[in-house]
Amino acid sequence: MSAASTHLRQLPADGLAVSRCIGESGPLVPEGSMNHTTSPQSAARTRAGVTLALVVGAVGIYKAIESMTSPALPILQEELNASRAEIAWVLTGVLLTGPVVTPVIGRLGDLYDKRRVLLGVLCIVGAGTLLSALSVSMPMLIAGQLLQGVGLGTVPLAVGIMRDTQSASRLKFGNGLMVGVIFACTALAMLVAGPIADRLDYHWLFWMPFAVLVVAIVAAWVLVPSCPSNSSGRHVDLLGAALFGGSLATLLIGFTYAPEWGWTSYRFVALVVGSVVLFAIFVAVELRSVDPLVDVRILASHEVIVASGLMVMAGFTINLFFVMIPMQVQQPASTGYGFGASGTTTSAILVPGVLMGALAPVAGWIEARVGRRAAAAIPPILTAASFLLMIASPGALPLVVAAMLVCGFSTGIGITQAMNIIATSVPEDRVSAFSGMNFVVKAVGSTSGVQIAASILSTDAASAHDAPAWSAFLTVFAVGVGLATAALLLVLTLRPSRDAGAGAPSPAEPVEATV
C-alpha cells in the first residue's frame, strides 16, 4: 500500500460506513479477502462489529476495574493498616486522574492514530492494575490507582473509533451500547468484588482484572483497525493541558474536602477561586492558540452546553443516589424513614438500578421515533420523577426500589443522548476531544453530587453516629428536582434536529482515506 490517498466509498446509511480506518496491511476490507459467498458489505459489517465490541469492551473493563475497590474498602483499610484519609485516596486518586488527563488523551486521538493511543492508554491502565496487585503498602496502592484513572481516556478514543468505523445509525447505537456496558460492568464489579475480597486475598481484586485486561490489549492489537487522523494539526497544547488540568484538579480537591473543611471555609473558597482563575487563563490561552487543546468557541456552542447540562445532571444524580439510598434504608425504622436494611439488602436495591443503565441503547430507538429534542427531554423528566419518588418513600421501601430503577434508566439514556449530541454536532476532528470533555463534566457533577449530599446530611446530625432528620433528605431531593428542572429547560431550547452535514459526511459522498 502506497502513501497515496485511497478513496473508500461509504455504504448506505443503514449499512456500514467504511471510513479512514484501515488494517495494518491495507484497507478495512482488503481486496481479494472475500470468497464467492461473502459480499464486501457483509465482510465490512463483520469487521466493524468486531471493532465495536472490542472498543466498547475496553471501556467496560476499565469501569469494572474502577469499581472493584469500592465494596472492599474496609478490607483494604484493615489489611494495609490505613487511615480513613489514606483509604479515601484509593477512590479519589482514580476520580482525579481520569478527568485531568482525558482531554489530553481525547486530543491525542484526534491528532494521531486512535488505535495506537488506545493501546497506549490500556497499557498504562495495565501497569496501574499490576502495581495495585503487587502492592504491599498504601503508597503503592494509591500510585496504582492513579495510573488506573488514565483509563477514563478510553471513552473518547472509543467514540472516535466508532465514529470512524460505524454508520450514522450504528454510531448512536454504539454510544448507547457503551453506556450500557459501563453500567453493566459497574454492577458486575460490585457483585463480585465482595466475595473475592472475603474469600481470597485482596490482591485478587486486581489480578483478575489484570488478566482480562491483557487479553483485551492483545485482541485490540490484532483486530482493531488503524484509525489515522485527518486533522491538519500535529500539536498537543501542553500549556492548555496544564492550565485545564490544574483548574479541574483544584476544583475536584475542593469539592472532596468541602464537607470536612466547611463550604464557607477559606481553604475551600481559595481553591474555588484558584480554579476559576486558572480556567479563565486557560480560556484566554486557548482563544489565541492556533491548535488549542479544546476549541472554546465550540465549547461555548449551544449544543455542547446542552450536552454538558445532561452530563452534569446524570453524574450528580446517580452518585447522589449511591450516597442517599444506603444512608436512608440502613437507618432504623424508629427514625420514621429508615428500614434497618442490611448491606446485602442495600446492594439488592442499588445493583438492579445500575443494571437499568444497561438499557441505554434504547436511546437511539427513542430518538428515531420522537426526535432529538423530545428524546433529550425524557432523562430530566425521569430524573425529577425519581427524586419525587424518594420524597414519598418514608415507610414505603418499594418506592425506594422504584426510584433507583428510574434513576438508573434515566442516567443511562441521558448520558447516551449527550454523547449523541456531541458526536453529531462538533467538527469531525474534534469528536474525541469533546467526547472526553463530556465525561470530564460528568465527573464534576458526580463529585459535587456526592459531596453536597454528604455535607447536608452530616451537618444536620449532632454527631457522626446520629441519624439525620428527614428534612435534610428532603433538602437534598429538592436540589435534585431543581437540577432536573434546569436541565429540562435547557434541553427545550435545543433545535429539534441538527443541520444536515454538520459532523459526519453525507452518506452519498465518498470518504477520502490517507493510507
User: Would the pLDDT of 173 be above 90?
Assistant: no
Buried b / exposed e over 254-290, threshold 16 CB at 10 Å, is bbbbbbeeebeeeebeebbeebeebbebbbebbeebe
Q: Quote the radius of gyration of the chain (alpha carbons, Å).
A: 23
Answer for the pair 156, 433: CB distance below 8 angstroms, yes or no: yes
CA-closest candidate to residue 147, choices 85, 69, 90, 188: 90
List all residues 6 or more positions away from 54 whose beta carbon is below 8 Å from its beta carbon.
216, 219, 220, 223, 224
60 and 160 together in one domain: yes
**Residue 422 is placed in which grid cell?**
456531541
Looking at the structure, tell me whether residues 466 and 420 fall in a common domain: yes
Residue 359 lies in a domain: yes
Q: Per the domain annotation, does 510 fall within a domain?
A: no
- Is there a contact between 409 and 356 (Cβ–Cβ < 8 Å)? yes
Query: The C-alpha cell of 513 is what?
Result: 482515506
**Bridge partners of residue 226, in order along the sequence:** 22
The answer to whether the CB of 146 falls within 8 A of the CB of 138 is no
On whether the CB atoms of residues 204 and 196 are closer than 8 A, the answer is yes
Three cell numbers, residue 167:
454508520
The whole-number average pLDDT for the span 485-509 is 64
Whole-Å CA distances, 150 to 156, 159, 181, 248, 327: 12, 16, 19, 15, 31
Residue 313 has pLDDT above 90, yes or no: yes
Does 275 lie in the same domain as 138?
no
Q: What is the DSSP letter of 265?
A: S
Question: Is a pLDDT exceeding 50 seen at residue 46?
Answer: yes
Is 514 a domain residue? Answer: no
Could you give the number of structural domains in the chain?
A: 3
Angle between helix axes 168-199 and 154-165 (nearest 10 degrees) is 150
DSSP assignment letter at 308: H
Task: Examine residue 512 and state whether it is found in any structural domain, yes or no.
Answer: no
Cα separation of 230 and 514, whole Å?
A: 8
Per-residue three-class SS string for 122-166: HHHHHHHHHHHHHCCCHHHHHHHHHHHHHHHHHHHHHHHHHHHHC
- Return the pLDDT at 381: 97
Pair 130, 216 in one domain:
yes
pLDDT by residue (tens digit) across 104-150? 888 888 888 899 999 999 999 999 999 989 988 888 888 898 899 89
Q: Do 375 and 307 share a domain, yes or no? A: yes
pLDDT of 507 higher than 80: no
pLDDT at 39: 64
- Please tell me what DSSP assigns to residue 226: B
Distance CA 102, CA 157 (A): 10
Q: Take residue 455 and report the three cell numbers written for it.
A: 455535607
Domain-embedded: residue 508: no
pLDDT(29) > 60: no
Percent of the chain scoring above 90 in pLDDT = 25
Please tell me whether residues 286 and 365 are part of one structural domain: no
End-to-end CA distance of the chain: 7
Write down the H helix ranges in 262-301.
Answer: 266-288, 296-299
Q: Output the pTM of the full model.
A: 0.73
Q: Which phi and psi (to 5°) does residue 26 adopt?
A: 165, -170
Mean pLDDT of 310-325: 88
- pLDDT reading at 189 higher than 70: yes
Instruction: Write the DSSP symbol of residue 506.
Output: P
Q: End of a domain among 191, 212, 235?
A: 235
- Choose the weakest-confidence range: 72-81, 173-182, 290-299, 438-447: 72-81
pLDDT of 199 higher than 90? no
Q: Hey, is 339 helix, strand or coil? A: coil
What is the structure's pLDDT at 234? Answer: 64
Most confident residue range from 117-126, 154-163, 171-180, 219-228: 117-126
Are 104 and 293 spatial neighbours (Cβ–Cβ below 8 Å)?
yes
Residue 515 has pLDDT above 50, yes or no: no
Task: State whether 113 and 251 are in the same domain.
Answer: no
Set of cell numbers at residue 53: 465490541
State whether 231 and 267 are in the same domain: no
Per-residue pLDDT of 443-486, as tens digits, reads 778 777 777 777 777 655 544 456 788 988 999 999 999 999 99
331 and 244, same structural domain?
A: no
Which of 55-64, 131-140, 223-232, 485-494: highest mean pLDDT?
485-494
The answer to whether residues 259 and 160 belong to one domain is no
Which of 202, 219, 235 is the C-terminal boundary of a domain? 235
| The pLDDT value given to residue 322 | 81
Q: Which residues pair with 23 in a beta bridge?
A: 26
pLDDT, averaged across the chain: 79
Residue 357 or residue 501, greater confidence: 357
CATH number at residue 203: 1.20.1250.20
102 vs 508 pLDDT, higher one: 102
Q: What is the pLDDT of residue 84?
A: 58
Q: What's the DSSP call for residue 70?
A: G
pLDDT at 25: 36
5 falls in which pLDDT band (50, 70, 90)? very low
Q: Please check whether residues 253 and 337 belong to one and the same domain.
A: no
Same domain, 400 and 379: yes
Place of cell 475497590: 69
With left for phi above 0 and alpha for psi between -120 and 50, is residue 395 left, alpha or beta?
Answer: left
Instruction: Judge whether 215 lies within some domain.
Output: yes
Q: Among 217, 235, 253, identify where a domain stops.
A: 235
Q: pLDDT tens-digit profile of 356-414?
A: 988 888 888 898 889 889 999 999 999 999 999 999 999 899 999 999 999 999 999 99
Are 209 and 144 contacting, i.e. CB atoms less than 8 angstroms apart? no
| Secondary element (H or E) of residue 500 | none
Of the two residues 193 and 504, the one the predictor is more confident about is 193
Which domain covers residue 275, as residue numbers?
237-292
Q: Are 257 and 275 in contact (CB under 8 A)?
A: no
